[in-house]
Every structure is written in structure tokens, then in C-alpha cells.
């Protein structure tokens, strides 16, 4: 990822979106609080992205977005970029009749559960260097949700974590990828119009 960002900055490569799946691990963002690492049953990696602790593992789609915001925005704006990542997730989830929502003061995308509680279905953690973005988003398709118990996800302890399969949306990773690709143009087309 570091090399891709350097190549984009140098003009030697184009913007990139990577879709991948990690083995079970925890990552710590720049705001991670050590007391939120409750039971580190998997390796913990320090990252340069924003945010706190999160879990990545099988059944979760991680997407790293590396793009030059100066090419896509008249005035580069981190908040607008985060909004577009959120919108990308929301539109992707809508393909499967899942209503993803933003919440003031809470990073990520949330769904209202049948009992009225709210659970996080997608996380966002980015870094921007010289207006080149990296890191990105993760969407829970069918991970082992108990693995989130080793941390306080994103520092939020009073809400749960869910997945598409937990919402009875038994889609495949390929189906999610197709929806992500379909809606990825929002990251460039809509940013230009902001």
C-alpha cells in the first residue's frame, strides 16, 4: 500500500481500490487506547490510519482505497472524502435491502436491529498523505462476530457489531464485491461534483 501511494503521488500509477480478506487480526489506529484491547487472541498490528482498534478476519471484506484527492476535488477535503466512503457503503448495502445509516459522533455505518438497538456493520479508517488516501473500509459479510469481543471496536462499548449474514442476507463475497464495484464510481464522480 505504501508503494502504491508513492507511485500515485509520483504520477507513476493510477488510483487503486483493493478488495481483500485478512486472516484474523486486530489493528490499532492512531487513537487506539490500550485499555480497549481486552483479550488479544490474535496478532495486533499498529497502523497509521485514523481510529481505534478494529478486527479483520475471514468473512469480512476489506477495501483499501488509494486515490489522489487533488485530482478529484477542486479543494481537497477529508470530511467530504469520509462522507463519500460512507455513501459508497450505504449504496452497496442497499443492493441487499439493508439500510445502512450514519450516526453523529460514531464512525462507520450502522443498522437498526429488530429490537431497536443499533449495531455496526461497516468500519472506516483512513490515512491521507500529500492528499493521497490509503487504508479504507471493511464490511462484515459473515465473520465470526465473537472475535470482536477481544477489543472495544472503535472505542464504542455500548453498541454491538453485526454482519449481513446475521441480518439473514446470505450473500457471497463475490456478490458484495460486484455491488462495491458497481458503486465505486461514487468515489470519483461524486467527489468531483462536491
Give 142-176 pLDDT, tens digit per residue. Answer: 999 999 999 998 888 889 999 999 999 999 999 99
The pLDDT of residue 111: 98
pLDDT of residue 32 exceeding 70: yes
Distance CA(33)–CA(29), nearest Å, equals 9
pLDDT of residue 193 exceeding 70: no
Query: Which H or E run includes 139?
Result: strand 132-140
Name the residue range of residue 186's domain.
Answer: 2-193
Please tell me what DSSP assigns to residue 189: I
The pLDDT of residue 74: 86
The pLDDT of residue 145: 97
- Judged by DSSP in three states, 3 sits in helix
Give 34-83 pLDDT, tens digit per residue. Answer: 999 999 899 999 998 989 999 999 999 999 999 999 998 889 999 999 99
Q: Which residue did the predictor score with more confidence, 188 or 158?
A: 158
The pLDDT of residue 155: 83
- Of 121, 98, 91, the C-alpha closest to 182 is 91
Contact of 136 with 67, CB cutoff 8 Å: no
Number of independent structural domains in the chain? 1
pLDDT of residue 129 exceeding 60: yes
Cβ burial 71-84 (10 Å sphere, 16+ → b, else e)? ebbeebeeeebbeb
pTM for the whole structure: 0.94
Edge-to-edge strand ranges of the sheet holding 53-56: 44-46, 25-28, 53-56
The pLDDT of residue 98: 98
What are the catalytic residues? 154
What is the domain-level CATH number for residue 36?
Answer: 3.30.930.10
Distance CA(80)–CA(28), nearest Å, equals 24
CA 144 to chain centre: 17
The pLDDT of residue 194: 43
Measured CA distances, 165 to 67, 98, 99, 137, 173 (Å): 31, 11, 14, 18, 11
Amino acid at each position: 500500500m505504501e508503494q502504491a501511494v508513492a507511485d500515485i503521488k509520483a504520477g507513476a500509477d493510477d488510483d487503486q481500490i483493493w478488495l481483500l480478506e485478512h486472516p484474523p487480526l486486530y489493528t490499532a489506529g492512531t487513537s487506539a487506547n490500550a485499555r480497549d484491547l481486552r483479550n488479544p487472541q490474535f496478532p495486533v498490528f499498529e497502523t497509521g490510519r485514523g481510529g481505534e482498534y478494529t478486527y479483520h478476519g475471514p468473512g469480512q471484506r476489506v477495501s483499501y482505497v488509494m486515490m489522489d484527492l487533488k485530482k478529484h476535488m477542486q479543494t481537497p477535503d477529508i470530511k467530504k472524502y469520509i462522507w463519500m466512503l460512507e455513501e459508497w457503503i450505504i449504496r452497496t448495502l442497499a443492493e441487499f435491502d439493508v439500510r445502512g445509516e450514519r450516526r453523529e459522533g460514531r464512525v462507520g455505518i450502522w443498522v437498526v436491529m429488530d429490537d431497536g438497538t443499533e449495531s455496526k456493520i461497516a468500519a472506516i479508517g483512513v490515512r491521507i498523505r500529500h492528499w493521497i488516501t490509503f487504508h479504507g473500509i471493511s464490511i462484515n459479510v459473515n465473520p465470526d462476530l465473537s472475535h470482536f469481543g477481544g477489543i472495544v471496536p472503535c472505542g464504542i462499548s455500548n453498541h454491538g457489531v453485526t454482519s449481513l449474514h446475521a441480518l439473514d442476507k446470505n450473500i457471497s463475497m463475490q456478490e458484495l464485491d460486484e455491488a462495491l464495484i458497481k458503486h465505486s464510481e461514487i468515489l470519483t464522480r461524486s467527489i468531483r461534483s462536491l
